[in-house]
Amino acid sequence: MFISFIACARALGSTKAVLHGTLTPVTMTVTNANSTTIAPVRQKLSGYDFYRQVLGSPRYIVAPMVDQSEHAWRVLSRRYGGQLCYTPMFHARMFSDPVNGHKYRAEQWSTDAQDRPLIVQFCANEPEHLLSAAKLVESDCDAVDLNLGCPQHIAKRGHYGSFLQDEWDLVHNLISTLNTDLSIPVTAKIRVFPTIEKTVAYAKMIERAGAQMLVVHGRLRDQKGHKTGLADWDAIRAVKQAITSIPVIANGNILYHEDLQRCLDYTGCDGVMTAEGNLYNPAILASSELPHTWAMAEEYLGICREFPTRLSPIRAHLFKILQPSLPHHTDLRTRLSKAGTFDEVWDIVAELKVRLMEDEVRIGEEGMGERDELGYKKVPYWRCQPYFRPELPADNGASGSKRKKEVGEMEEVMEERTQQKKRGTEEGKIAEDEECVKKVKEFATVEVASGRISKGFVDYCTLQDVVQSVQTENSRI
């Protein structure tokens, strides 16, 4: 009945379509050509009204994460303090493709009535594609977000994410199209520029274009992989001070629960978003207690039984949750990297649990709370802990030659893909990119399992990141 009222309002050319979750209690009336009252129409909320009334004023937010903020993960994150979740980034054109879109959607996208508040994120460079994709989810989420922060090579080639940050007209057009034609609000997630002035001007342009909330990831486009470094909270604070009509969310540098409040205090932002902090400790938003790795892994797998999830995100999650524990039980790490079924994964976690419980009894929690020589908290390896990405050595890892062969092979794959893309059609380019990413991920998974490269790359890596990563480890071997 509600939908037919929307259709009716639309047919009459009413101001905005309306859907659950985004409605203000204040109503207008729609009248037909004979001035007969048809039905009450409620307007789309904007800015702080949207933030408070629809989203529930969330302060702790779980980031969009490709292949990692999937439905099952959102269930877990909400249990542990996530007040707003984002889907992974979806490719708007592939999502709305009339021929193959249904396959893409079936593989990537699922939700249910409990999965709220929820923002669905897309990357796009064509307003029509973005709108078509957004329309497919507008009744199942609270807003649609435009990804303006992805710094990866695939985004450069596909012309989206942070590679749009120099095309302000296009960004404006993408956002204003959704603001005008979508029944739910549009939001955006950006990275910062080298100067605060430019970052603020960019944010203001996005606000003017009609975004109803802005997430600022305080890193530059180049800050990725081994160059990730620290996020710039000063830049985020400047944006928050300059933008007054919509909520601003801070993102970056959240390693421990205590960092959440520090970030809110420093930046003055309305909320704070975490990605890696949440992946390595799914309970980071709930409390400063560091949970047992096995307990989080077990709980996540229990949720996956209920919300069917592909094995590759499951394995990637487990490698992160169990990151401190697996180096102490390397046989299980190897088994996990090769596990081909959910039941195998389940058994491995069950076995690890038994061993870690024994370890805890045998060794005890001494050292908990102390800091190591770098100032990081010492935490027993059976507890979740943040990931510190290693920096590349001065020689870029080139001195390590032990595994140059594999690196060379990966570089060949990269070159081959580049050549293929030069020859390929637009469709081919995307498919090849995906194939390339798949290969990189397979390679990275094996590398992580063997403990040779850092864990954070498994899912959000570029070929270059993996190659660099392997080089770094070479230099240590």
User: How far apart, in whole angstroms, are the C-alpha atoms of residue 434 and residue 87?
Assistant: 19
Q: Looking at 65-73, 235-243, 373-381, 421-429, which segment touches ligand FMN (CB under 6 A)?
A: 65-73
Q: Looking at 17-25, 57-65, 131-139, 166-174, which segment touches ligand FMN (CB under 6 A)?
A: 57-65
| Residue 150 annotated among the catalytic residues of the structure | yes
Helices (H), 57-152: 71-79, 92-95, 101-108, 127-137
The answer, yes or no, to whether the previous bond of 117 is cis (omega within 30 of 0) is yes
103 is written with which tokens? 């396959």
Q: Looking at 59-67, 70-78, 260-268, 437-445, which segment touches ligand FMN (CB under 6 A)?
A: 59-67
Q: Looking at 46-54, 128-136, 203-211, 269-277, which segment touches ligand FMN (CB under 6 A)?
A: 269-277
Helices (H), 211-282: 233-242, 257-267, 276-280
Residue 277 in the binding site for ligand FMN (CB under 6 A): yes
Q: Give the nearest distance from C-beta 213 to ligand FMN in angstroms.
A: 13
In the bound state with ligand FMN, the residue whose beta carbon lies nearer, of 5 and 266, is: 266
Residue 254 in the binding site for ligand FMN (CB under 6 A): yes
317 is written with which tokens? 């999650």
Please list the residues that pair with 42 across neighbouring strands.
27
Residue 217 in the binding site for ligand FMN (CB under 6 A): yes
Residue 275 in the binding site for ligand FMN (CB under 6 A): yes
Residues 289-348 that bind ligand FMN (CB under 6 A): none
Q: Give the nearest distance from C-beta 462 to ligand FMN in angstroms.
A: 12
392 is written with which tokens? 């590349």
Residue 274 in the binding site for ligand FMN (CB under 6 A): yes
Residue 225 in the binding site for ligand FMN (CB under 6 A): no
Count of residues engaged in binding ligand FMN, rule: CB under 6 A:
22
Per DSSP, the three-state class of 144 is strand
Other CB atoms within 10 A of residue 51 CB: 25
Among 189, 292, 317, 452, binds ligand FMN (CB under 6 A): 189
Q: Give the nearest distance from C-beta 107 to ligand FMN in angstroms.
A: 15
In the bound state with ligand FMN, the residue whose beta carbon lies nearer, of 231 and 301, is: 231
Alpha-carbon distances, residue 211 vs 185, 192, 206, 343 (angstroms): 7, 17, 6, 44
Other CB atoms within 10 A of residue 52 CB: 14
Among 147, 454, 472, 474, binds ligand FMN (CB under 6 A): 147
Q: What length does the chain have?
A: 477
Per DSSP, the three-state class of 61 is strand
Among 68, 125, 187, 323, binds ligand FMN (CB under 6 A): 68
42 is written with which tokens? 């409620």
Residue 468 in the binding site for ligand FMN (CB under 6 A): no
User: How far apart, in whole angstroms, are the C-alpha atoms of residue 326 and residue 140?
Assistant: 38
Q: Give the nearest distance from C-beta 281 to ligand FMN in angstroms.
A: 11
Q: Which of 300, 234, 251 is nearest to 77 (CA)?
A: 300
Residue 164 half-sphere exposure toward CB, CA atoms < 13 A = 27
Q: Which residues are catalytic?
A: 150
Which residues bind to ligand FMN, rule: CB under 6 A? 63-66, 68, 88-89, 121, 147, 149-150, 189, 217, 251-252, 254, 274-277, 459-460
